Amino acid sequence: MTENLRRTPLHARHAALGARFVGFAGWEMPVQYVGVTKEHEAVRQRVGLFDVSHMGELFFDGPGAAAALDRAVTNDIAHLAPGQARYTAACNEQGGILDDLIVYRLAAERFLVVCNAGNRTKMAAHFAEQSLGRCAYADRSDEYALLALQGPAAPQVMGALLGAERARAEPFLVNLARFGVVETRLCGVDVICARTGYTGEDGYELFCGLEGAGPLWDQALAAGAASGIAAIGLGARDTLRLEARLLLYGNDIDESTHPYEAGIGWTVKLDKPELIGGAALQAVKRDGVKRKLIGFEMIERGIGRHGYPILDPADAAGTVVGEVTSGAPSLSLGKNIGLGYVPSALSRVGTRLAIEIRGQRIAAEVVPTPFYKRK
């Protein structure tokens, strides 16, 4: 690995588990341990444990924090209750997506924003500017590790981590509401525990100081042994999130895309007193979108990968009408699936498309998303 790649505090534990590493957003991260297929199935059928300590953690404090964040992101933050989290985006003045984020309201005047690792520098600077004179702000990404416990057996593992006596006394930890968040102690470690996720399954996120990451990782694996827990790498994380139509910044969204065409226009609240990019987004909503991010399924044999051209099959000349942003085999459904931008006129479910794969036109069809929904 390149020497300048950063390592999470769990790197030695990943190596001991036989992880294969890749460079990702400036970090040396485990891409797989025993294979993407087995790790994907572990999360869908049982439970998996991810190290996502590369993500950014940005904190906002003070009476002006809610108003500052409400102005800086698209969703409604001012009315978010303490103990709740919300998915949102931050846009530039042109309505382009700077990043997609989760905002956690830890207390009345205290917020945590989690940003993508590759956007940390950009978002840290953006929020520093937006909080100036409004509230206290700190980028504490270097102080935190983040573990994600995901899968249908995640609540059982959380119960085992707590122990039977504490689970009975404090059932709210196991039964934390979807998009809920609480500060507590777990296995002797101070944690921020949330219930969000990036896999399409149930699960928890555990933020802790760097020194607590190793003990928490070890105890989570021990607590999950009876449930068949597995360590999961970035490879399965990508196939899981694609099935659930969860967007990947840099592939599916970036500053050249806006929330409405990406299918996350529901996060945009235009009735705020102030919103960065609000005027541009208001115009988009008024005029309609020219293209949309669609889900497609390959009809013929082939996998539409990131960057592959999407063609209009009715055009014998093979006119390029869009581009695949994400694509992979769906290990849960046994189909090859993907996401891509096409003109709005070609976005209706059932529309036939073609993906250019190594010079060949391979048939595909627009399908509903998410591709996978947990029961």
Average pLDDT for 184-199: 95
Residue 62 lies in a domain: no
Same domain, residue pair 161 and 306: no
Per-residue pLDDT tens over the stretch 203-237: 999 999 999 999 999 999 999 999 999 999 999 99
- Mark which of 188, 214, 243 sits at the end of a domain: 243
CATH number where 306 lies: 2.40.30.110
Same domain, residue pair 40 and 175: yes
Q: Is the dihedral of CA 144, 150, 155, 159 positive or negative?
A: negative
Same domain, residue pair 32 and 181: yes
Residue 331 lies in a domain: yes
Same domain, residue pair 147 and 49: yes
The answer for residues whose C-beta is within 8 angstroms of residue 365's C-beta and 6 or more apart is 296, 297, 299, 350, 351, 352, 353
Nearest-angstrom CA–CA distance, 196 and 178: 6
Same domain, residue pair 152 and 215: yes
Residue 91 lies in a domain: no
Same domain, residue pair 238 and 350: no
- Mark which of 207, 223, 243 sits at the end of a domain: 243
Per-residue pLDDT tens over the stretch 270-321: 999 999 999 999 999 999 999 999 999 999 999 999 999 999 988 878 899 9
Residue 41 lies in a domain: yes
Residue 49 lies in a domain: yes
Pairing of strands 320-330, 309-311: antiparallel
CATH number where 38 lies: 3.30.1360.120
Nearest-angstrom CA–CA distance, 238 and 246: 9
Same domain, residue pair 162 and 309: no
pLDDT for the residue 311: 96
The interaxial angle of helices 120-131 and 65-72, nearest 10 deg, is: 130
Share of the chain above pLDDT 90, in %: 94
Q: Strand, coil or helix: what is 68? A: helix
Nearest-angstrom CA–CA distance, 312 and 317: 9
Residue 38 lies in a domain: yes
**Nearest C-alpha neighbor of 281 from the set 304, 301, 296, 264:** 264
**Structural domain span for residue 316:** 290-367
The string over 101-139, giving b where at least 16 C-beta atoms fall within 10 Å of a residue's C-beta and e elsewhere, is: bbbbbbeebbbbbbbbbbbbebbbebbeebbeebbebeb
Same domain, residue pair 149 and 229: yes
Per-residue pLDDT tens over the stretch 39-62: 999 999 999 999 999 999 999 999
Residue 26 lies in a domain: yes
Helix/strand/coil (H, E, C) string of 105-144? EEECCEEEEEECHHHHHHHHHHHHHHHCCCCEEEECHHHE
Q: With 50 as the cut, is the pLDDT of residue 1 above it?
A: no
Average pLDDT for 63-82: 97
Per-residue pLDDT tens over the stretch 85-115: 999 999 999 999 999 999 999 999 999 999 9
Same domain, residue pair 27 and 169: yes
Number of domains in the chain: 2
**Quick one: 297 exposed, middle or buried, by C-beta within 10 A (0-12, 13-18, 19+)?**
middle
Q: With 60 as the cut, is the pLDDT of residue 2 above it?
A: no
Same domain, residue pair 313 and 236: no
Name the pLDDT band for 3 (thresholds 50, 70, 90): low
Average pLDDT for 317-329: 94
- Mark which of 243, 259, 277 sits at the end of a domain: 243
Same domain, residue pair 37 and 166: yes
Q: With 90 as the cut, is the pLDDT of residue 121 above it?
A: yes
Residue 248 lies in a domain: no
Q: Strand, coil or helix: what is 12? A: helix
The string over 2-21, giving b where at least 16 C-beta atoms fall within 10 Å of a residue's C-beta and e elsewhere, is: eeeeebbbbbebbeeeebeb
Q: With 90 as the cut, is the pLDDT of residue 167 above it?
A: no
Same domain, residue pair 221 and 336: no
